[in-house]
Structure 1
Amino acid sequence: MTTEVRLLGPPQIARNGELLGGPRGYKAWGLLAFLALAERPPSRQRLVSMLFEHADDPRGALRWNLAEMRRALGGQVSVGRDPLTFAAQPGVSIDVVSLADHGPARLNGVPHGELLEGLSFDDSPAFDIWLSVERQRLAADCRALAYRWSVELLANGQPDAAARIAGQAVESDRLNTDLHAVLITSLMRCGDEAGAQAHLARCTDLYRRELEADLPAAVARAAASAPGEPSASAAVVRSLLDLADASLSAGTAATGIGQLRRAVAVVDDADHQLSGRARLALASALIHASGGRGSDVTTLLHQALVRAHRGGDAAIGAAACRELGFLAVQAGHRAEVEHWLGLAEAWCPTDAESARILGVRGMSLSDSGEYQDALTVLDASVELARRSGHKRQAAWSKTMIGRLRLLRGEPAQAALVLDEALQDIRADRWTAFTPFPQAMRAEAAVALGDAQTAHELLDYAWVQTTESGDQCWVAAVAHAQAVLALHEGHDALAWCRTGLAAAPWYLWLRARLLDLTAGLTLGTQQGMDLLDELEHLAGGATMRELTVRALIHRSRIEGPQRLAHAHSMAIDIANPALTAELDRAG
């Protein structure tokens, strides 16, 4: 007997394909969704305060709704104790839980629908806020999942299926440049050039009407069919790869990327190892040397992964999955991060690669406000990097530890580890990465009252940032400049606007700037617009602390009820600085 629970779209329960009535009362549906999605068991009191605080017998109302939920599921779930544990029997499938485990063939298309669609919880504001955040997150997860499926199908030589998935997904995400690019590429690979050109024309009109903008370059490139080049010998390809490595190490990114493009163009695809290596090298260079994102980069990584499977190359397979996980961190897709990093670890990587994987996971956990887990993972990354002689990875992971310490209001500890990272970076002449740890170290200096050190660090970092043109570093250094300006009583808003104008592709950096800017413009229309964007961005990307900070801002305008909701959402975030901020707001 199989029981399928659908929480995306109008909620329903089906047993062996036959629809059942479902639990009586919309709050039983709310309980089911909350328990199914909870990362850790919630206390009974938390559920009472979220859903039943106005009932005559709040705990009795909780018990009745839990019993109703169990009855509707035929007793196939167990719920009990305090905190409340929730476990479904093997025959029960809940769509929001198993979403990432399903493939496009099984789901017969793109997952869609709003969480608990049609249900309203206006009489339970705390739950309503939770539901709003989860709806944003799951909508973002569904979009990311559809994109991943379409690129995987395209890389595996199934352009028809890729076009179908991308076409379905783009209907509900009309301005998603990556989906448009994948759809057009898929149509071209199917031989449907007329269909590709027709969609290109629709895109051109759409972007002009909706955004008053030109067609994105990635979409235009997807419709251009480049002439193929004859294959070159393996020696030629290896020579190009070595030349590119030297060019990238010397800081001449454009030259190195050009050499890698030539290597990908002429490599014999029958040589799975070399073909995969060339594609991985080009994708990594585009990501880390020129801020490459979008379907062209992800397609290269998926192609590298296909070749890793064909050739049994664990090094390429683990690295391609880790890079896909890194892109998911920057885009704020937590479910995709766990999917790709889990696959990377399944390749049984070396210590050096494991250090990189743990570094990306620690970054993701920190973005989500899971600071203790992040610290454990990042410490392990540093140790593996040290053991394997990977100095740059050690410096990178130390920088992430320094960032975590800074966010937790521990500036002295942040300064110590960031100084270590900067020393390692200087010793290895890793100039390209320097602005980020310098920005974090400058903010720690401001918190310690050392404005002179902050000025020296930021003067240096800003020159490097503007010369490189890296959007993410612009946002990070501009935030630090704004913090210093606030400390000295100068204009911080100008720096905030500079950082936001850079449009960093790492969404956590943008959300953090939105938090600072919204606080400085509170009470104005600009402040409200920024706050709306912060809530949407942080909710969709599982940035729990920044979601709480948005609620703190709201409480200063709309009253203490918002602050109560902020306290409820912050209950699992181990951050003394956030706790202090909540206390000050109260």
Structure 2
Amino acid sequence: MTVVRLLGPPHLPGAAPVPGRGRKPWALVALLLCSTGPVPRSRVIDLLFPDAADPQAALRWTLSQARRTVGDAVTVGGDPLTWELADGVHVDVLDVLAGRAPVGWPVSEAALPLLEGAEPDVAEFSAWLHGRRLDLAAAGARLQRAQRTRTCSPAGRGAVRDLVRVGEQVMDAGAPRDGAAILAGAVRRARVLGDDAVLAEALAHYGHGIVHAVASTDPGAAAALREADRLATRHGLADVAVLARRELGFVATATGDQAGALAQFARAAAAAEGRPEQEAGVACGRGFALVDTLASGGAVRELDRAVALAEVADRPRAAAAALAMRGRARLQRDEDELAEQDVRRARALVGELGWTALRPWVEFLHGEVLLRAGRPAEAEVVFADARTLAEVLDDACWIALNARGVASARARRGDPAGAAAALRTVCETLVADADICCWIELHVRDTLCAVTASFDGPAALAESRLLAERADRTGLGEFAVRAARHRARLGDPDASGEQRARAGRYDNPALLRT
């Protein structure tokens, strides 16, 4: 058994030291293993080599040193960068993030600082490291308390599955953190039970609940989903594999890794083949991943399939989710009447199901439909009510979206300066809160550009350049087209041509409108 230690001074116990290594190889290993999915090389460069004369060469050298550092224990490579553990390898931070008993290292060290004494002197990485240390310290303290005081009562397979069902019901009813605690308890009891099939189910449902209702980029949830996928693959649990891969695709989409998302959805589709109830969820996820990329028309077609499959399988929850996402895709394409039909149907289903956790999302879409119909006063009331519910649910994504809606309605009602100030506050929060989905941040920034343009052209130009930069970095290229359109409207002589050139690559006629 090999244990990679990243908490405290990083090392491999029993491994011979390799001379000539600096701190950045360990920093790179920690960055990859503590992230929720594949890490774009551009992101690594931003964090570790912002001032390098040749950042690509610096990254290549550091990768080679990282491979020497961990030997055969961890395989690292690709673009975006991914990692894979060899058989029999354990990593302390992965145990902590997954909330499982330490393997080959003492639980007393679960709250040690990540990379203690081995921090590279780079401000950008230091900011990332500070946030990760806080997350890991809290998770490590929870693990220590659990190991000291918890002796799970014996539970059979049926009891664990009942806990999973109850936890999901509590989440859907609008108590996400209470539901998450119940699901975490299901995972703990499944580990005690020693049944890999039940553990895989509990892990997959725990990860699903966390990323949708608590934190879409939570590293512990991503670790749980990856473990569920490994167990499900090993034991031939197709439905569990679909759920885990589908949710890993959702996490990748939320973080702007569209290629990684589509790869996960392809794996999920392979496991779901022939079962409409599973295929519906995969199609909905793939549609979500495509909305703001080169194929929003493809997103609508994928979501058409998701709606049809959900109806064939008699899965009203899946139908509601797919209808809401198709409504969003159609709004992006300026297909307002069709969007209104989808949103109306989604709202009806969510009401019938009592699906409180999804209400802020479908109400946001309802507000957007009202805004497009020239009814800003009504829209503002809808957005404000939905924002209040999102705050009660403590869902940062829905809070940001509905705050954006309130500001947009306020601008339509004659207060663009106040609306812009509110949107800047949301953007500042987004920058500080890494858990906001990338597309939501760009949606807010797009609105900020439009609102600011009405009274402060230079500020709007600056915002549009930032929007384009963020869109290109995350792969959500439709927003880069919108940024060029903002600049064209503000008189930039080169922007119209850029808008046409960029829009020509996309399956969305709305992007060609001036």
Write out per-residue CA displacement over residues 272-322 of structure 1, whole angstroms, 9 at most, x where no aligned residue: 110101111211121122225232111101111111022211010111000
Give me the whole-angstrom Cα distance separating, in 2, the residues matched to 1:143 and 1:531: 32
Is the alpha carbon distance of 1:468 and 1:111 closer, same or farther for their aligned partners in structure 2, counting shifts above 3 Å?
closer
In structure 2, C-alpha distance between the alignment counterparts of 1:381 and 1:473, rounded to whole Å: 23
Once the two structures are overlaid, the 10-residue window that deviates more, 472-481 or 236-245, is 236-245
Which of 493, 502, 512 is matched with 1:560 structurally?
493
Instruction: From the superposition, tell whether residues 194 and 230 of structure 1 become closer, same or farther in structure 2 (CA, over 3 Å).
Output: closer
Look up the SS of the partner of 2:291 in the other structure.
Answer: helix
Which of 160, 165, 169 is the matching residue for 1:237? 160
Q: In the TM superposition, what whole-angstrom CA distance separates every residue of 1:53-87 from its partner, at most 9, and x where no partner exists?
A: xxxxxxxxxxxxxxxxxxxxxxxxxxxxxxxxxxx
User: Is contact 2:262-2:289 (8 Å) kept?
Assistant: no
The residue that corresponds to 2:470 in the other structure is 537
Look up the equivalent residue of 1:322 and give its one-letter code: R
User: Residue 218 of structure 2 aligns with which residue?
Assistant: 294
Distance, in Å, in 2 between the alignment partners of 1:464 and 1:233 is 35
Unaligned runs of 5+ in 1: 1-103, 115-141, 164-180, 582-586
The reply to whether residue 516 of structure 1 matches residue 447 of structure 2 is: yes
Q: TM-score, normalization: structure 2?
A: 0.73
What is the deviation of 1:392?
1.6
Contact 1:200 1:219 in 2 (8 A): no
User: 469, 482, 486: which one pairs with 1:549?
Assistant: 482
Counterpart-to-counterpart distance in 2, 1:206 and 1:195: 23
Find the aligned partners of 1:323 and 1:209 in 2 and give their Cα distance: 28
- Taking the aligned partners of 1:338 and 1:502, their CA distance within structure 2 comes to 29
Could you tell me which residue of structure 2 aligns to residue 413 of structure 1?
338
**1:99-153 deviations in Å (ceiling 9; x for gaps):** xxxxx9xxxx999589xxxxxxxxxxxxxxxxxxxxxxxxxxx89843xx33x52
The structure-2 alpha-carbon separation of the partners of 1:183 and 1:335, relative to structure 1 and needing over 3 Å to count, comes to farther
Distance 1:543 1:273 in 2: 37
Q: CA contact under 8 A between 1:395 and 1:425: conserved in structure 2?
A: yes
The equivalent of 1:310 in structure 2 is 234
Measure how far apart 1:502 and its partner are: 4.3
Relative to structure 1, the CA distance from residue 566 to residue 261 in structure 2 (aligned partners, 3 Å threshold; closer, same or farther) is same
Taking the aligned partners of 1:240 and 1:277, their CA distance within structure 2 comes to: 11
CA distance in 1, matches of 2:442, 2:379: 23
SS of 2:229's equivalent in the other structure is helix
Q: Which residue of 2 aligns with 1:576?
A: 509
Change in 2 beyond 3 A, CA 1:529/1:201: farther
1:167: which partner in 2? Answer: none
Please say if residues 511 and 538 of structure 1, whose CA atoms lie closer than 8 Å, have aligned partners that are also in contact. yes
Residue identity opposite 2:507 in structure 1: A
Contact 1:511 1:546 in 2 (8 A): yes
Separation in 2, partners of 1:372, 1:553: 23
Alpha-carbon distance between aligned partners in 2 of 1:253 and 1:110, rounded to the nearest angstrom: 28
- Alignment partner of 1:153 is 2:85: yes
> SS of the counterpart of 2:475?
coil
> Post-superposition shift, 1:449?
1.8
Give the equivalent residue in structure 2 for 1:168: none
Pick aligned residue for 2:250 from 305, 326, 334: 326
Per the alignment, residue 202 of structure 2 pairs with 278
Q: Does 1:468 align with 2:390?
A: no
Say whether the 8 Å CA contact 1:230–1:266 is kept in structure 2: no
Q: Which one has a bigger Cα radius of gyration?
A: 1
Of the structure 1 ranges 424-433 and 480-489, higher mean CA displacement relative to structure 2 is found in 480-489
Moved more, 347-356 or 498-507: 498-507
Residue 258, structure 1, aligned to residue 189, structure 2: no
Q: Tell me which residue corresponds to 1:49.
A: none
Shift of 1:330: 0.9
**Equivalent position SS for 2:441:** helix
1:433-476 deviation line (CA, Å, top 9, x unaligned):
11222222222222222335424422431221222221111121
TM-score between the two structures when normalised by the length of structure 1: 0.64
Counterparts in 2 of 1:532 and 1:223: CA distance versus 1, 3 Å: farther
Alignment match, 1:96? none
Which of residues 419, 426, 430 in structure 2 aligns to 1:492? 419
What SS does structure 2 have at the residue aligned with 1:574?
coil
Q: Which amino acid aligns with 1:301?
A: L
Q: 1:479 to 1:324 in 2, by over 3 A?
A: same
Amino acid at match of 2:513: A
SS of aligned partner of 1:495: helix
Asked if the contact 2:330–2:338 (Cα under 8 Å) also holds between the matched residues in 1, the reply is: yes
In the other structure, the counterpart of 1:79 is: none
C-alpha distance in structure 2 between counterparts of 1:110 and 1:375, whole Å: 28
Map of 1:374 onto structure 2: 299
Q: How far apart are the structure 2 equivalents of 1:111 and 1:428?
A: 39
| Residues 321 and 346 in structure 2, CA contact (< 8 A), matched pair in contact too | yes
After superposition, the CA RMSD in angstroms is 3.6
Residues 238, 356 of structure 1: alpha-carbon distance in 2 compared, 3 angstrom cutoff: closer
Structure 2 counterpart SS, 1:275: helix
CA drift at 1:376: 0.9
* Distance in 2 (alpha carbons) for counterparts of 1:254 and 1:183: 21
| Residue 575 of structure 1: how far off its partner (Å) | 2.8
Partner amino acid for 2:479? L
Match of 1:352 in 2: 277
2:328 pairs with one of 403, 412, 429: 403
In 2 relative to 1, CA 520–276 (structure 1 residues): closer, same or farther, beyond 3 Å? same
Residue 314 of structure 2 corresponds to which residue in structure 1?
Answer: 389
Partners of 1:415 and 1:347 in 2: CA distance: 34
